[in-house]
C-alpha cells in the first residue's frame, strides 16, 4: 500500500505513514447480505424498446387525432404520449438509458407528425365531402405533401397546426422527460 499524501510505500497494516505521519483511512466495504443486496443492472434491449415506444406512442397519436376532431389541441396529448412511449420502451427494453430517452423523443416527434397528417387528411376529406366531392382518405394521406406543393391544400394551416401540436406535446411531456433524464 502507498501513502495517499506522500506516496511512500508503507505496510498494509499501518495506521500512520512512517515517513510523513499521515493517518491512513481505510474504506470498509460492507458485505452483501439480504439487507444490503447488490443492485442488479439490467441490460437495455434497444430494438425491443423501440417496438415498445412505437406501441406506446400510438396511444398519443390517437389522442391527438381525437382532440383534433373537436378543434382542441392540448398538452395532455403530449403528456400521455410521453408517459406511454417512455414506459413501454422501458418495459420492452428491460431498462432505459439516456440513449433510450432520446430514441423516445425522436419517436414522439415522428408520431406527432403522423398524428397531424392523419388529422389533416381527415379534415380535408370532410371538407371535400361538405362541398359535394368524394375524398379518399388514403389518397389524401399518402399524397398530402404533393397536394400542398401543388397548392391544392393550405400549407400554412397545416404548418400552423403541426407547430402547435408539437409545442403542446413538448409542454405536456417536458417535465416527464426531464424526470427520466435526471433519474437515469
Reported confidence tier of residue 32, pLDDT bands at 50, 70, 90 = low
Q: Identify whether residues 26 and 50 lie together within a single domain.
A: no
- What are the distances in angstroms from CA 1 to CA 23, 26, 57, 75, 150? 13, 11, 55, 59, 78
| Domain count along the chain | 2
Q: Identify whether residues 134 and 71 lie together within a single domain.
A: yes
Distance of CA 81 to the CA centre of its chain: 9
What proportion of the chain, given as a percentage, has pLDDT over 90? 23
Taking residues 103-124, what's their average pLDDT? 91
pLDDT tens figures, 67-80: 887 877 777 787 88
Supply the DSSP symbol for 135. Answer: -
Domain boundaries, position 29: 1-36
41 part of a folded domain: no
Q: Identify whether residues 2 and 50 lie together within a single domain.
A: no
Supply the pTM of this predicted model: 0.70
Residue with cell string 409545442: 167
Q: Identify whether residues 27 and 51 lie together within a single domain.
A: no
21: its cell numbers: 505521519
Q: Identify whether residues 29 and 82 lie together within a single domain.
A: no
* Mean per-residue pLDDT over the chain, rounded: 83
pLDDT at 31 exceeding the cut of 70: no
Q: Identify whether residues 15 and 79 lie together within a single domain.
A: no
Amino acid at each position: 500500500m502507498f501513502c495517499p499524501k506522500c506516496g511512500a510505500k508503507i505496510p498494509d497494516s499501518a495506521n500512520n505513514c512512517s515517513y510523513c505521519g499521515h493517518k491512513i483511512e481505510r474504506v470498509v466495504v460492507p458485505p452483501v447480505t439480504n439487507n444490503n443486496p447488490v443492485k442488479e443492472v439490467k441490460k437495455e434491449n434497444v430494438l425491443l424498446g423501440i417496438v415498445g415506444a412505437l406501441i406506446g406512442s400510438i396511444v398519443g397519436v390517437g389522442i391527438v387525432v381525437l382532440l383534433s376532431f373537436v378543434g382542441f389541441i392540448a398538452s395532455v396529448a403530449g403528456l400521455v404520449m410521453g408517459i406511454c412511449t417512455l414506459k413501454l420502451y422501458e418495459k420492452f427494453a428491460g431498462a432505459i438509458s439516456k440513449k433510450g430517452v432520446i430514441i423516445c423523443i425522436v419517436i414522439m416527434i415522428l408520431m406527432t407528425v403522423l398524428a397531424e397528417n392523419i388529422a389533416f387528411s381527415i379534415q380535408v376529406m370532410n371538407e371535400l365531402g361538405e362541398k359535394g366531392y368524394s375524398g379518399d382518405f388514403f389518397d389524401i394521406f399518402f399524397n398530402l405533401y404533393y397536394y400542398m406543393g401543388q397548392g391544392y391544400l393550405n400549407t400554412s394551416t397545416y404548418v400552423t397546426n403541426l407547430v402547435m401540436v408539437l409545442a403542446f406535446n413538448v409542454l405536456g411531456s417536458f417535465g416527464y422527460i426531464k424526470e427520466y433524464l435526471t433519474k437515469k
